[in-house]
Amino acid sequence: MSQERRFPPRFSDRPAEPFASAEEAWLWYARCQIARLEGARYTADAGNVGRPCEPDDIYRAVDGLYRRNMLDRGHLGVLGRFGSRQSPPDPWAGDEETAARLWGEALDRLATVLRGKGIVQ
């Protein structure tokens, strides 16, 4: 018995603009998550730019990479720390080289997944 494929409904008629990079997508997700924790409710298509995904799609991509052992706890820690800070690791600000390496690895792996889904250019 075949299963019918279901796609989420389109919330907007305006064209969706993919993110320029996985870093931009991750920082957008982190901003959305910070807003949620502060009590904001997610409303589709409320931003200035239409996006090809919801914030949870970025989370699910990272979670999938972690479950397939392509990301480890170190990667997740760096993504969380610098996502909440809203900036990548900066050696001039005293961030260590290891954090910058883990950030780069995590975003490189995330970019591959997000490009395949049309979320990143």
CB 114 within 8 A of CB 62: no
Average pLDDT for residues 12-37, to the nearest whole number?
91
Average pLDDT for residues 50-75, to the nearest whole number?
96
pTM of the model: 0.83
Mean of pLDDT over the chain: 87
Instruction: Kindly give the residue spans of alpha helices, DSSP state H, lying in 13-117.
Output: 22-37, 55-67, 73-85, 97-116
Gap between the Cα atoms of 100 and 83, Å rounded: 13
* Percentage of residues of the chain with pLDDT beyond 90: 69
Average pLDDT for residues 55-80, to the nearest whole number?
97
- Map out the domains of the chain as residue ranges: 22-38+52-116
Gap between the Cα atoms of 114 and 119, Å rounded: 5
Residue 8 has pLDDT above 90, yes or no: no
Q: How confident is the model at residue 49 (pLDDT cuts 50, 70, 90)?
A: confident
